[in-house]
Chain A
Amino acid sequence: MKYTTPAGDTVIDRQRVVGQPTTRIDGPLKVTGHAPYAYERHDVAANQAYGYIVPSAIAKGRVRSIDLAEAKAQPGVITILTTTEVDELPLGMGHTVPLFGGSEIRFYHQALALVVAETFEQARAAAKLVRVDYERTQGNHDFHALAPDAPLVEGSDGPDVSKVGDFEAAYASAPVSIDVTYETPHESHAMMEPHASIAAWEGEKLTLWTSNQMIAWSKQAVAKMLDLDPANVRLDSPFLGGGFGAKLFVRVDAVVAALAAKKAGRPVKVMLDRPLVFNNTTHRSATIQRLRFGAERDGRLTAISHECTSGNLAGQEGENGIAQTRLLYAGANRYTAQRIARLDLPEANAMRAPGETAGLMALEGAMDELAEKLGMDPVELRIVNDTQVDPETPNRPYSSRMMVECLRRGAEAFGWDKRNKTPGGMREGRWLIGHGMAVGFRNSVQMKSAARVRLSSNGKLTVETDMTDIGTGSYTILAQTAAEMLGLPLEDVTVTLGDSDMPASCGSGGQWGAQNSTSGVYAACVKLREDIAGRFAMDPNTAEFIDGEIRAGAESRKLTEATASGEIVAEDSVEYDELSKKYQQSTFAGHFVEIAVDAYTGETYVRRMLAACAAGRILNPISARSQVIGAMTMGVGGALTEELAVDTRFGFFVNHDLAGYEVPVHADIPHQEVIFLDELDAIASPMKAKGVGELGLCGVGAAVANALYNATGVRVREYPLTLDKYLDKLPAV
């Protein structure tokens, strides 16, 4: 299905199944421990051996030699794969540096060898006895030292700078202006399930049972890295214990498992040790962001500048903190630019809402500062600067933009009018109470997505696609879509995911999963409906599929009549072209937060938070809410505690476990409320849905920081907002 013009009325609009609150169909599997996660797939291949990675102890340099004598002699050891025995692997999709091979060391905990043994414990014990002789070189590990001289990011058409109007002149003449700099730290995805893979060969054919968000990309990447015909590569990843972007691209577990399985002549499984999740895989880069605004006294922005510097290994982009600033607010004179410091740290890459998460932590903090300077309600300042078109390209309207409605609904539900209006002015016992808000913004992305549906002779439907469910609820919304389209009860639909032998979907990432993968299933179901209607000489456009029957006028036939002679299979995809060029497609939220700060110790706790979201059709209010509250939780972590602490001498993230990298615990997360606005966006997708999985994170950090200011009168522009950064500025006790 080519989606070139916005859909009119569709079957989905009935919302008998789609849009209804539906608990996860894979829930029972998960809570009973039967969902097959990669490392625990003991049944898929016999005789699995255990691999354990020997990670580099230095961040930069070379391997001179590797002494395996002692390790090889350990009980249970089958084989040892070393980095020096293979050439540097080619880069797979999304990679900045090779995952394995060669003698060059580019980051701490780079995999240098894999010990394969009969048991996990044997492999780990022997791995400790692999002796690596290093040649160490001094790297550039200090982002703050490099940032001032960081060059502009080179995009495909030159440096990433955008100018509209005359920023400098407008800024200089603006009656009200601010110039502030915010900093965000390196952050880790820190998902529950570490990267893991089991590899098995049958001749030239490789199967990887793995944990991966993007099956079609990753299949190609594995083929490229290992020089295989893609037809000989199969990935299977039906369940993931989270990813947040860390599993968009193949990581080292998959390739060393594959190489070692070949060497050992039997299947090999590898899971990354928790410290390797922090240092061997990817993270969100730190940023330093300077914002300058010029405004009229009524709050209208006349000059907007946002410059963001982030860091990465040479060859890769950084954290694009300016992306949303090009789109979010009106203003005639604009300047945005991105710089990148070349850092010898582990590879920075996409983490949930890459760009906007860090960008809004700065932009929306700066907006709060401007509101204060103007003496304006921060909600009103945003509303005054609303735009219904792309402000850099005004002939590109938004497909649908409900920022103002999100703010008004959110403010009302939160009781924003009863907020503390004087910074430091509201106290309950020892607690300073503060309120803050921010806009949430994240684009909705159109991606090709294919699916196959099979209606079997017993009238049950199977959906097949390589789409992944990373905890988001894909299984359920795809089943809902198919059930709606074919008029079947949800129980009659089975969804199989994550297998690269199935039609290639959009995968899970960039909050593009839900609307595109359901649209792919929708497209396949349209075909299936046509096939069935054709068998009864009915018009597929007017026939109704309901209660396991197809009806047209007075005529009604059972679907099982259509499949009497065998199952019916239909396959199709959704594909897009011009709609995203013609229309800016984005999702919006109003985030509102109340915090309490201990006036003595500075401890900060979120007391309640609310998000009012507009993200097109909400396919399943239960799983969509789960996505948003999970994202809000992540936002609290980013605001208050999460930071990869860098040892700038030795070039590594020091707090490389879940005790040291502090994500929120239950006790940190108070009352959360989510409101979804009614919105159908027929431009965004045939389902009239947009993404929602990342929206809930975007803006939360700034809302918390603004609330901290409101509570204490202390503006902290350096995340995370740990108490050491403001303790000395709190009133004396």
Chain B
Amino acid sequence: MKPFSYERVSSPAEAAAAAARAGGAKFIAGGTNLLDLMKLEIETPRHLVDVTGTGLDEITETDEGGLRIGALVSNTALASDERVKRDYAVLSRAIVAGASGQLRNKATTGGNLLQRTRCPYFYDTNQACNKRKPGRGCAAKEGVSRQLGIVGVSDACIATYPGDMAVALRVLDAVVETVKADGTTRAIPLGDFHRLWGDTPHIETVLEPGEMITAVTLPKPLGGTHIYHKVRDRRSYAFALVSVAAVLDADGHGRVAIGGIAPRPWRVEAADAALPDVKVAARALTQGASPTDQNAFKIALVERTLAGVMAKARGEAA
């Protein structure tokens, strides 16, 4: 781990200003992703701004009838909030499908959105990785790629955004609120938040350096049946091969987002429009897929998982 300096701040504005002041600064929230990456020297911030004291750990109701989730609300608190469990159950279910109880106690809403990919070559600093060292090439593309992405990926990088929570947020049309170093704020729809890799896989979101997430807002409740199905090799403590977040009517109309296949939670308008036709929806979701031999199975898996979700929404026996 490279030496770094550390400070605590007590408000979002202070945090953004502190990050702007010190070059090479990063925010630290739960630290469950950042610290692991620092130990491997994949992340090498020179300064850490601890944002856990910024008071952003509440869930409040918005004027529009939705919820505003503070960036520092822990994954555990968010998943167990009565309003979330009642009105946004897909979010609650997605969160508890991820990581472990201990990690979710530490992990925060903002940090979770910004967790980095789990591509094994990204984690092994002996290997070429455009995301870690732009321009060095991508060892994964012709290597072990079973977990990696099939859509929205690029020649430079085929990694996925690995998280679960964001897949549910995407299906709920959540919006990310931020504050920049100069004190200006903005609201970014989650669908625009994570970038596709293109030629710059090291730039993963539209956040500017030093821009801090303050909250995530949810529009007013959608109703419907909320389902999160995460397919993985073992029953917990594993990242998704494919996951489906769905909010569906009894007749199978609604919306879906897919995790585990792309640089961001994958939602396609044409797929939502095609529902309840699973085949057409799945085709829309995997349109233009460029899988490797090892992860081509994800195309069929998207369709089959979607079919299973649809069956569940229709109340077929579990």
Contacts and interface: CB of A to CB of B under 8 A. Distances in A.
Given A645-B144, A662-B234, A128 B41 contact: yes
Interface string B223-251: 00000010111111111010000000000
Given A430-B317, A657-B123, A664 B234 contact: yes
Q: How large is the interface on A (under 10, 10 to 19, 20 to 34, 35 or more residues)?
A: 35 or more
A727 B231 CA distance: 12
B160 to A, nearest CB: 14
B25 to A, nearest CB: 19
Contact of B235 (A121, A128, A665): A665
Contact of A605 (B127, B235, B304): B235
A57 B126 contact: yes
A667 B237 CA distance: 10
Given A128-B41, A430-B311, A647-B143, A662 B238 contact: yes
A121 B1 contact: yes
A28 interface: no
Given A656-B124, A657-B123, A601 B142 contact: no
A659 interface: yes
Nearest to A725: B297
Interface string A693-733: 00000000000000000000000000000111001101001
A602 interface: yes
Interface string B281-318: 00000000000000001001100110110011000111
Interface string A580-613: 0000000000000000001111110100000000
Contact of A125 (B2, B231, B316): B2
A650 interface: yes
B236 A667 contact: yes
Interface in A621-655: 640-641, 645-647, 649-650, 654-655
B234 A640 contact: yes
B304 A641 contact: no
B120 interface: yes
B118 A654 contact: no
Chain A binding surface SS class: loop
A203 interface: no
Interface in A48-81: 57-58
Contact of A665 (B126, B234, B297, B304): B234
Contacts of B238: 659, 662, 665
A655 B239 CA distance: 13
A600 B303 CA distance: 9
B144 A647 contact: yes
Given A430-B316, A668-B234, A645 B146 contact: yes
A95 interface: no
Contacts of B305: 600-601
A408 interface: no
Given A429-B316, A600-B311, A668-B235, A649 B301 contact: no
B197 interface: no
Given A430-B317, A649-B142, A601 B231 contact: yes
Closest 10 CB pairs of A and B: A600-B308, A429-B317, A667-B235, A57-B126, A724-B297, A733-B307, A654-B144, A645-B144, A667-B236, A654-B120
Given A57-B126, A723-B233, A724-B297, 16 more contacts: A58-B126, A275-B124, A601-B308, A603-B231, A641-B233, A650-B139, A654-B121, A654-B124, A655-B144, A659-B118, A662-B238, A664-B234, A667-B236, A723-B231, A727-B301, A733-B307
Interface of A: 57-58, 121, 124-125, 128, 275, 428-430, 598-603, 605, 640-641, 645-647, 649-650, 654-657, 659-660, 662, 664-668, 722-724, 727-728, 730, 733
11 contacts: A429-B317, A600-B311, A601-B308, A646-B144, A654-B121, A660-B120, A665-B235, A723-B233, A727-B300, A728-B297, A733-B308
